[in-house]
């Protein structure tokens, strides 16, 4: 990187502004670009976090001119951001955007059309040869796009610039396909040029998990098998497959959510403290967690560690919704799971014997992603003879979405009583109230341009997670009977098998419908009372 960076203050924090660069989005008219990438780049521009020498080359197979593309994207960004969208800021951002349609599978299109247009824009905007290629295209064409970029000479490191490539999950569909994709990447790109993106890691609460643990001496000493009973990681959503039927039929919940999202949340929760808060040191510790996960047992014992489900018809927010097999584009005999739950053990000194329960599903009772640390009960309850109910153990909940924040529950007595507990445990809540906080895709796009890989997945980590999940997925696809599904209603908490998975161990899932107390910075909620800090 030959041109330096500078910093800008946002919400009181210094954020690095990238060096001059050009972002090239392959699949720039697709759903991901409309909902996430273009809104994120627009917000970075509006907050003056993009370099003054910047350009965006949007590419897609859809034939249209630049004006039509900008009109469509302007409408999409306005819909996505609502009141945060401003026409003046959009028109200022649009000056740096160009559009070209071409065939991703055609090498000539890369070496002629794409390369020539890119060089013209780089000269116009003074970005040097600093390039970020973002593959927002179907996973089935990842490998051909990587190869064509390489053969066209667009992956070569230059004296006056860098090429980075960003790949969205899923990174393959099993161990073998992931290895083929990595092999193609390694031929044309060095590992330091490759950014395997999982935007969950960039969410504020996930990043704050490290700060919560390693910057507070009262929590880290308790973060181990001596004090933690179990950990729950949940990624639930009320949505169905929507317009992604073809993709989801091939992927299912384990490829779509577990291989990257849930395993990365597990790693952030379970990792050891890195020597320094640096990209490679943090990624080292995440990878060590994956190395320590106990492989799943043989087929005859797999049900002790796994539950699967597929949603049937039901009710969401008072509206009737169809079952998975009734969705457009889905086979009426489909055995694709839309719900999964796993019990995982991390076999190392810190976590030996502590179960991690992971679950994810579609058409559930509530949209919620969270990581909850459930501590052990007190060893001796001296109040037992004075109370008519049990005392709930302490829980720390990291709310990843939609209401990002952290809550801690603990017990206290009712004011004015001798030994009566409050009706509900005390909840101390923290939520992110600053309107200028960057969202996940804004962070990862900045880091792609800067070249910081801390929030991105390493090749070895992807290999390890696929090696754990591939035998399980193959078993599901080979042995699941058609009449097993559907086994949970849309709008419910999930299948009975998931309840049995955790209750067999004497534990219960946190209910999806439980509402975490609303919070704002500085507000503590105690039972039914709210007290403002002085």
Residue 52 corresponds to which tokens in the numbers above? Answer: 């003054």
Does the structure show a pLDDT above 50 at 324? yes
pLDDT for residue 270: 96
* pLDDT band, very low/low/confident/very high, at 520 (cuts 50, 70, 90): very low
Does the structure show a pLDDT above 50 at 528? no
pLDDT for residue 424: 62
Domain ranges of the chain: 6-168, 204-375+458-504
Residue 348 corresponds to which tokens in the numbers above? Answer: 């190392």
Q: Give the domain 6-168 fold.
A: Rossmann fold (3.40.50)
State the average pLDDT over residues 436-458: 88
**Which residues are within 8 A (CB) of 425 and not within 5 positions of it... i.e. 6 or more apart?**
392, 409, 410, 411
Per residue in 140-155, pLDDT (tens digit) is 889 999 999 999 999 8
HEC-encoded secondary structure of 464-532: HHHHHHHHHHHHHHHHCCHHHCCCEECCECCCHHHHHHHHCCCCCCCCCCCCCCCCCCCEEEECCEEEE
State the average pLDDT over residues 18-34: 93
pLDDT for residue 156: 85
pLDDT for residue 523: 37
Residue scoring higher pLDDT (419 or 452): 452
Q: Residue 337 and residue 300: Cα distance in Å, rounded?
A: 20
Does the structure show a pLDDT above 90 at 28? yes
- For residue 355, which phi and psi values (nearest 5 degrees)? -80, 140
pLDDT for residue 347: 96
Residue 177 corresponds to which tokens in the numbers above? Answer: 């396909």
pLDDT for residue 517: 44
pLDDT for residue 377: 84
DSSP type of residue 492: B
Contact 31, 243 (CB under 8 A): yes
As separate numbers, helices (DSSP H) first and strands (DSSP E) second, the chain gives 15, 23
HEC-encoded secondary structure of 378-432: CCCCCCHHHCCCCCCCCEEEEEEECCCEEEEEECCECCCCCCCECCCCEEEEEEC
pLDDT for residue 242: 84
State the average pLDDT over residues 183-204: 90
* Ramachandran area for residue 153 (φ above 0: left; ψ -120 to 50: alpha; else beta): left
Residue scoring higher pLDDT (300 or 162): 162
pLDDT for residue 420: 61
Contact 414, 422 (CB under 8 A): yes
Compute the mean pLDDT over every residue in the chain, rounded to the nearest whole number.
87
* pLDDT band, very low/low/confident/very high, at 311 (cuts 50, 70, 90): very high
Contact 358, 258 (CB under 8 A): yes
pLDDT for residue 408: 87
Query: Catalytic: which of 261, 320, 374, 380?
Result: 261
* pLDDT band, very low/low/confident/very high, at 516 (cuts 50, 70, 90): very low
Q: What is the DSSP string of 164-186?
A: EEEEESP--SSHHHHHHHHHHHH
* pLDDT band, very low/low/confident/very high, at 383 (cuts 50, 70, 90): low
DSSP type of residue 423: S
Poorest-confidence range of 95-109, 282-296, 408-422? 408-422
DSSP type of residue 458: -
Does the structure show a pLDDT above 70 at 375? yes
Residue 424 burial by Cβ neighbours in a 10 Å radius (0-12, 13-18, 19+): middle
State the average pLDDT over residues 70-95: 93
Poorest-confidence range of 221-230, 394-403, 434-443, 496-505? 434-443
Contact 83, 76 (CB under 8 A): no
State the average pLDDT over residues 342-365: 97
State the average pLDDT over residues 207-235: 92
Does the structure show a pLDDT above 70 at 386? no
Of 193, 200, 197, 198, the residue nearest 146 (C-alpha): 193
pLDDT for residue 49: 93
Residue 448 corresponds to which tokens in the numbers above? Answer: 């792609």
Contact 174, 473 (CB under 8 A): yes
Prediction pTM value = 0.89
pLDDT for residue 463: 95
Does the structure show a pLDDT above 90 at 339? yes
Is residue 261 annotated as a catalytic residue, yes or no?
A: yes
DSSP run (H or E) holding 69 = helix 66-81
Q: Residue 358 and residue 468: Cα distance in Å, rounded?
A: 14
Does the structure show a pLDDT above 50 at 525? no
* pLDDT band, very low/low/confident/very high, at 303 (cuts 50, 70, 90): confident
State the average pLDDT over residues 308-335: 95
Does the structure show a pLDDT above 80 at 127? yes
Residue scoring higher pLDDT (430 or 193): 193
pLDDT for residue 415: 62
Q: Residue 180 and residue 173: Cα distance in Å, rounded?
A: 11
Poorest-confidence range of 63-67, 195-199, 472-476, 517-521? 517-521
Domain 204-375+458-504 has CATH 3.30.360.10: yes
pLDDT for residue 11: 65
Of 102, 144, 135, the residue nearest 27 (C-alpha): 135
State the average pLDDT over residues 452-477: 92
DSSP type of residue 367: -
pLDDT for residue 401: 84
Does the structure show a pLDDT above 50 at 531? no
* pLDDT band, very low/low/confident/very high, at 417 (cuts 50, 70, 90): low
């Amino acid at each position: 990187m030959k041109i330096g960076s500078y910093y800008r203050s946002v919400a009181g924090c210094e954020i690095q502004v990238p060096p001059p660069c050009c972002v090239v989005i392959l699949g720039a008219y697709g759903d991901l670009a409309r909902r996430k990438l273009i809104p994120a780049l627009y917000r970075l521009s509006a907050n003056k976090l993009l370099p003054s020498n910047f350009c965006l080359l949007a590419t897609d197979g859809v034939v249209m001119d630049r004006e039509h593309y900008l009109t469509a994207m302007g409408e999409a960004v306005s819909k996505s951001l609502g009141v945060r969208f401003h026409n003046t800021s959009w028109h200022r951002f649009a000056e740096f955007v160009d559009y070209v349609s071409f065939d991703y599978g055609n090498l000539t299109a890369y070496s002629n059309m794409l390369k020539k247009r890119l060089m013209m824009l780089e000269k116009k905007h003074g970005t040097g040869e600093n390039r970020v290629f973002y593959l927002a295209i179907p996973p089935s064409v990842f490998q051909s796009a990587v190869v064509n970029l390489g053969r066209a000479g667009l992956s070569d490191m230059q004296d006056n610039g860098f090429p980075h490539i960003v790949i969205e999950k899923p990174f393959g569909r099993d161990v073998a396909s992931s290895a083929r994709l990595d092999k193609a990447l390694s031929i044309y790109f060095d590992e330091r040029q490759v950014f395997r993106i999982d935007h969950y890691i960039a969410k504020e609460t996930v990043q704050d998990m490290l700060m919560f643990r390693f910057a507070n001496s009262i929590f880290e000493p308790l973060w181990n098998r001596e004090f933690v009973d179990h950990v729950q990681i949940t990624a639930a959503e009320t949505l169905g497959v929507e317009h992604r039927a073809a993709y989801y039929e091939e992927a299912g919940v384990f490829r779509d959510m577990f291989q990257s999202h849930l395993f990365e949340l597990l790693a952030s929760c379970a990792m050891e403290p890195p020597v320094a808060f640096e990209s490679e040191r943090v990624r080292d510790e995440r990878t060590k967690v994956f190395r320590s996960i106990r492989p799943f047992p043989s087929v005859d014992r797999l049900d002790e560690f796994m539950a699967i489900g597929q949603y049937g018809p039901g009710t969401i927010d008072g509206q009737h919704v169809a079952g998975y097999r009734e969705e457009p584009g889905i086979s009426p005999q489909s055995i694709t799971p839309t719900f999964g739950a796993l019990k995982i053990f991390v076999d190392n000194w810190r976590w030996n014997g502590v179960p991690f329960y992971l679950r994810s599903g579609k058409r559930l009772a509530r949209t919620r992603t969270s990581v909850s640390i459930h501590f052990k009960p007190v060893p001796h309850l001296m109040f037992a003879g004075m109370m008519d109910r049990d005392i709930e153990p302490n829980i720390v909940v990291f709310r990843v979405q939609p209401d990002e924040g952290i809550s801690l529950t603990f017990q206290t007595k009712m004011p004015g009583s001798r030994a009566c507990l409050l009706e509900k445990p005390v909840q101390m809540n923290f939520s992110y109230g600053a309107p200028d906080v960057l969202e996940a895709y804004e962070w990862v796009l900045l880091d792609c341009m800067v070249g910081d890989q801390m929030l991105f997945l390493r090749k070895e980590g992807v290999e390890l997670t696929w090696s754990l999940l591939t035998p399980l997925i193959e078993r599901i696809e080979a042995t699941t009977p058609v009449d097993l599904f559907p086994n949970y209603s849309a709008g419910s908490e999930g299948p009975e098998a998931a309840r049995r998975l955790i209750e067999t161990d004497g534990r219960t899932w946190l209910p999806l419908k439980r509402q975490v107390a609303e919070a704002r910075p500085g507000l503590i909620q105690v039972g039914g009372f709210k007290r403002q800090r002085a």
